Amino acid sequence: MVKCRCGPAYSGVPEHLPVIGSGENRYPAKVIQQTLNKPGGTAHSGVPFWDAFLFTRRRNQSMKRMLSGIKPTGQLHLGNYIGALSKFVSYQDEYEMIAFIANLHCITVPQDPAELQKNLQDCVALYLACGLDPKKSTIFLQTDVKEHAQLGYIMCCHTYMGELNRMTQFKDKQAHGEKNLSGGLYTYPSLMAADILIYDPDYVPVGEDQKQHVELTRDIAIRMNNRYGRLFKIPEPLVPKVGARIMSLTDPSKKMSKSDETNKGCIYLLDDLKTARKKIMGAKTDSLGIIKYDPENQPGVANLMQILSSLSDNRPMAEIEAEFAGKGYGDFKRAVADKVCEELEMIQGRYNEIIASGMIEDVLNEGAAKARALAAPKLETVQRAIGMEIISK
């Protein structure tokens, strides 16, 4: 057998055919070509391309699959990086990683079109700058895979209103008296279930506050499996033990968020280093003057410790406590600021290179082709199972 790591493309694939195979084994010719020619792709000398492709897929499928998406309604911040992006980078060597930009979820509330487009581009560039490798991970825009929205409607028809009424985001906005809430905001958890289930992932990495969505996804999957036969794999939420939820620097009782009105509690990945350092040095602590990991009694200090730990390969809190024993908050904050600025400088350098290279469009096109190869047969299977299909494909 020949390992296709470089050189001329494997020539056995009839690229004039847009789609090859049938049923659950329908794949774009371009995806087959890419699979056989990327690192790890295997072409057998004298063996038809289809057999070589299926062999490679079967080997790849021995890895567990992980899926996650980010909704870039604003700039990505340090909480996104620690809680999600940095985890994706470590996961992509261990799992078959699918990471998409959830742009359909962005429009559940009104958005400025130009600002949204800029945020989407920045999100992709930052995915790559933080270390996601398109050769290892499938990276794409949600709207480039139309099957998401179609399965989303089917999911909506299998979700009870009582379940949607209990979902935190809609319930909280309603409780605060917000007016003109959209139907999209109400039903987006059903679309999120489709985003997940259409790829049959084993795991979905989420923050503690997002577990509710995965639990609803599991409930819908179990309901449909019981009604129509086994359609979906039941995914497991994966919540990191450290850094799963980074809190606001000015109010450590709240999650770090781009909606921070003061703009002092949130560090954006594209903040200049001087601004980021100033925000950390001004972070809320307390009057105890002790560096101790005690989220209940010292939430501000605990939050800074969690940031430092997460950016230092999950360094044990006991080690951080020992290092700063007898030292003041000023020394501690400077150490956190140094670490954060070091990380931001590295990310921003890569980000600028990626923006200048013009590679984003190619990454998204290739990612969408790979994603559609998985999503299209799954949607067809679901529609056939529930009686919606007439014509054999």
- Positions marked catalytic: 173, 255, 258
* Residue 385 tokens, joined: 């199972």
Instruction: Give dist(CA 272, CA 255) in Å, integer.
Output: 22
Query: What is the enclosing helix (H) or strand (E) of 171?
Result: helix 168-175
Q: At what angle do helices 183-197 and 147-156 cross, to 10 degrees?
A: 110
* Pairing state between β 96-101 and 65-70: parallel
Instruction: Give dist(CA 196, CA 357) in Å, integer.
Output: 31
Residue 136: other Cβ atoms inside 10 A: 18
Q: At what angle do helices 29-37 and 49-60 cross, to 10 degrees?
A: 70
User: Are 142 and 104 contacting, i.e. CB atoms less than 8 angstroms apart?
Assistant: yes
DSSP 268: B
Q: What backbone phi and psi angles, to 5 degrees, belong to 338?
A: -60, -45
